[in-house]
Amino acid sequence: MSSNRKFRVGVLGGTGFVGQVFISILENHPWFEVACIAASERSAGKSYREAVEGRWKLKTPMPSYVADMVVKNLNQVNEICEETDFVFCAVDMKKEEIKAFEEMYARAETPVISNNSAHRWTPDVPMVIPEVNPEHTRIIEKQRKRLGVKNGFIAVKPNCSI
Mean pLDDT, to the nearest integer, of 71-96? 97
Residue 114 CA to residue 140 CA, distance in Å, equals: 14
Sign of dihedral through CA atoms 137, 118, 50, 41?
positive
pLDDT digits (tens, 9 = 90+) for 49-62: 999 999 999 999 99
Q: Please give the pLDDT value at position 158.
A: 83
Residue 20 CA to residue 127 CA, distance in Å, equals: 22
Closest CA to 48 of 29, 59, 33, 34: 34
Contact 128/156 with Cβ under 8 angstroms?
A: yes
Which of the four pLDDT bands, split at 50, 70 and 90, describes residue 160?
low
Q: Which pTM was predicted?
A: 0.93
Q: Please give the pLDDT value at position 4.
A: 79
Helix, coil or strand: residue 108: coil
Helix, coil or strand: residue 100: helix
Mean pLDDT, to the nearest integer, of 80-90? 98
pLDDT at residue 159 tops 90 = no
Mean pLDDT, to the nearest integer, of 76-86? 98
Across the beta sheet with 86-89, the strand order is 72-73, 32-39, 7-12, 86-89, 112-114, 154-156
Contact 34/72 with Cβ under 8 angstroms?
A: no
pLDDT at residue 162 tops 70 = no
pLDDT at residue 32 tops 70 = yes
Helix, coil or strand: residue 88: strand
Q: Please give the pLDDT value at position 65.
A: 95
Give the C-alpha distances (Å, rounded to integers) separating 124 from 36, 109, 113, 136, 139.
27, 16, 14, 10, 6
Give the C-alpha distances (Å, rounded to integers) separating 29 from 34, 42, 57, 72, 150.
9, 29, 21, 22, 28
Q: Please give the pLDDT value at position 130.
A: 86
DSSP character for 25? H
Please state, rounded to an integer, the average pLDDT across all residues of the chain. 94
Q: Which domains does the chain have, with CATH numbers?
A: 1-92 (3.40.50.720), 93-162 (3.40.50.720)
Percent of the chain with pLDDT over 70: 96
Weakest-pLDDT range from 1-15, 24-38, 101-115, 121-135: 1-15
Q: Please give the pLDDT value at position 3.
A: 66
